Structure 1
Amino acid sequence: MPTISQQTRNQLFLLLRELPLSDEPWAEGHYWESLRSSVLHSLGAIELPIDRSYSGTREQVLVYAHSCSDTELLDLLEIALSCSGSWELQRVFDEFAYCINDVFATRGVGYRLTPQDRDQSPQIVVVEETVSYETAIEPALQALASEQFAAADQEFRTALQHYRNSRFPDCITWCGNAMESVLVVIAQSRGWKIPGKGKMGILFKSVISELGIPPAYQKPFDGVATLRGQLSSAHGGGVKPRVVSQRDARYMLAITAATIALVIDSNSR
């Protein structure tokens, strides 16, 4: 996964430290207490792993932000955005998210924050190739923003989270879940019979046929169904340990995202 340099960490730290939250001390204090509590829950800890001489809640969170691992820092930034609270502060946190993405981009760090989506706060995802993010991942997230695809949206975001944390079998599993949810929602909304229960390849073939998508699109998707069956964590590995590479998960993410965007776009025409 992409590493975060000390210079990048310093810039992200300063963005967090300088958040213009409120002129009311009690409101700012509430935010930092909420953030600290959420971080503790994510760590499964009673206290933050820092020197106990730091007594103020804001001070504790900032010391932790300066000393935690890269993965923990990314989690902290996501939590910081999810604790935004009242709508009055939305502009502040929109600017915060924009500045985080600007730091990632200008420093050449392979992460991006996804856009705000309904009740979903922005999520940090791995961007190893800007082109694949802009032409596949981002369009898929935009397509899934519709309320009817809320479950699929959550499943795809979970796949992205697993990829960021190097849980590649789980990434493949949740990619498959998201794709299947999209297909089922479209079929049900159109009143089509859902064929081949438990067989995503058959369901996909039926849906693209009904939507008038050329059959040639079936072949790339066959690989997705095969990967899901052979490499995902949804099935037992048997005697031989299952080895799932980052390359496998990256391919699954890209092809799933592109297919989701294609199918939803075709359904809306």
Structure 2
Amino acid sequence: MTIADLFSKGQKKIRPEDSDVHEYAQIPRPLRVQIAHILRDLFGHKVIYDLNGCLEAFGEIEQLLCREYGLCILPTDLTTTPDVRVIDFLLHEEDEKKVLDVVEVSFRLLTRRRSSPEWQSRIPQEKFDRAVNELNAHFREYGIGYQYENGEIVRVDSQFIHAEVVKPALALLGTEEYAEANAEFLKALEHYRKGETKECLTECLKAFETTMKAICTKRKWAFKSKDTAKELIDVCLTNGLTPPLIHSHIRGVRATLARGIPTIHNRHPGHGQEVQLVDVPPHYASYLLHLTAATIQFFVESEKALK
């Protein structure tokens, strides 16, 4: 039998990262219970679905985990059935990485089983996708830095754009002069984790504008307190925030910035306005978060490079 590449094994090869906005050490019990509900919805309850393979599926999950952990049976009540033992292990295991193993192995097994017509009928692609989206939404809700993607659990900080854009932006905003912008960007991240995407857009724009105001204040560049992103971008570039060598490029980027973050926000107006808000899908908010982080990082580093 092929040795399984479990999440917990892979993490032993990864050097711990610096501090982050996500939690990697603790998986709270409410989240574990929600994951258990997701697995029950997918694989079924033995009373209802025994004939359709509920016990067989959970038995295979248990067997794979035990083989990799060097166990004969999961360390739970031996008198219970495989589904109860797997769920009990999920709820009570102290090693958080092994809890994630249960999630990863379960979704991988389901992906493999869905190759059969019986399981395709029982769990259509739409239902499977909803389960994955629900799982990842709960991870974000609790600030847990993991996602299930392409058949495996991955650390969010192992994703290139998070490691190279979001974390550096937070580090740059960690100083006193950018404290307000930092608080606003952290609020945007918190709204995103909770699925409050419209509020996320609002805080992204505020963080972007506040960062530019902080730069202008530090450099004593004249601006009006009510200036919007477009006016603030003009002030920064006019005062030489970037080297003349790339001004022609920045002039083109300026249009993108002026129409990017602000326009996305303006087309989804905030509270207090008459236009009704529309739903903002998570991937849209994710794009805005990373666009904001990249722009903030670029502007702050450019200011630091000025003499």
- Taking structure 1 as the reference length, the TM-score comes to 0.53
CA–CA distance in structure 2, aligned partners of residues 101 and 146 of structure 1: 33
Could you tell me whether the CA contact under 8 Å between 1:152 and 1:179 is conserved in 2?
yes
Partner of 1:249: 285
Task: Please point out which of 200, 212, 227 is paired with 2:242.
Answer: 212
Is 1:169 equivalent to 2:131 in the alignment? Answer: no
CA–CA distance in structure 1, aligned partners of residues 234 and 290 of structure 2: 19
The Cα offsets for residues 186-214 of structure 1, whole Å up to 9 and x where unpaired, read as 11111111148242111122213321262
CA–CA distance in structure 2, aligned partners of residues 71 and 219 of structure 1: 47
The Cα offsets for residues 47-99 of structure 1, whole Å up to 9 and x where unpaired, read as xxxxxxxxxxxxxxx9x943x136999xxxxxxxxxxxxxxxxxxxxxxxxx9
CA–CA distance in structure 2, aligned partners of residues 162 and 203 of structure 1: 25
Distance 1:102 1:176, change over 3 A: farther
Structure 2 gaps of 5+ residues are 1-6, 9-25, 36-94, 105-134, 138-142, 147-155, 244-249
Structure 1 gaps of 5+ residues are 1-6, 9-61, 74-98, 112-122
Instruction: Tell me the amino acid that sits aligned with residue 132 of structure 1.
Output: I
Could you tell me whether the CA contact under 8 Å between 2:145 and 2:157 is conserved in 1?
no
CA–CA distance in structure 2, aligned partners of residues 102 and 182 of structure 1: 41
Whose Rg is larger? Answer: 2
Cα RMSD for the two superposed structures? 3.9
How far is 1:220 from its partner?
Answer: 2.5
Name whichever of 128-137 and 154-163 sits farther off.
128-137
Instruction: Tell me the amino acid that sits aligned with residue 215 of structure 2.
Output: I
Instruction: Tell me the amino acid that sits aligned with residue 215 of structure 1.
Output: R
Secondary structure of the corresponding residue to residue 174 of structure 1? helix
CA–CA distance in structure 1, aligned partners of residues 181 and 144 of structure 2: 18
Partner of 2:214: 185
CA–CA distance in structure 1, aligned partners of residues 162 and 96 of structure 2: 17
The Cα offsets for residues 160-199 of structure 1, whole Å up to 9 and x where unpaired, read as 0100110000001001111111111111111111148242
Task: Please point out which of 194, 215, 223 is paired with 1:194.
Answer: 223
Could you tell me whether the CA contact under 8 Å between 2:268 and 2:277 is conserved in 1?
no
Equivalences for residues 119-198 of structure 1 within 5 A: 124=144, 127=156, 130-195=159-224, 197-198=226-227
Instruction: Tell me the amino acid that sits aligned with residue 242 of structure 2.
Output: G
Partner of 1:236: 273
Name whichever of 219-228 and 155-164 sits farther off.
219-228
The Cα offsets for residues 216-244 of structure 1, whole Å up to 9 and x where unpaired, read as 22132121110121225355252x44221
Aligned residue-pair number: 172
- Taking structure 2 as the reference length, the TM-score comes to 0.47
Equivalences for residues 1-269 of structure 1 within 5 A: 65-66=28-29, 68-69=30-31, 124=144, 127=156, 130-195=159-224, 197-210=226-239, 211-212=241-242, 214-221=250-257, 222-234=259-271, 236=273, 238=275, 240-269=276-305
CA–CA distance in structure 2, aligned partners of residues 208 and 104 of structure 1: 47
Secondary structure of the corresponding residue to residue 261 of structure 1? helix
Instruction: Tell me the amino acid that sits aligned with residue 209 of structure 1.
Output: T
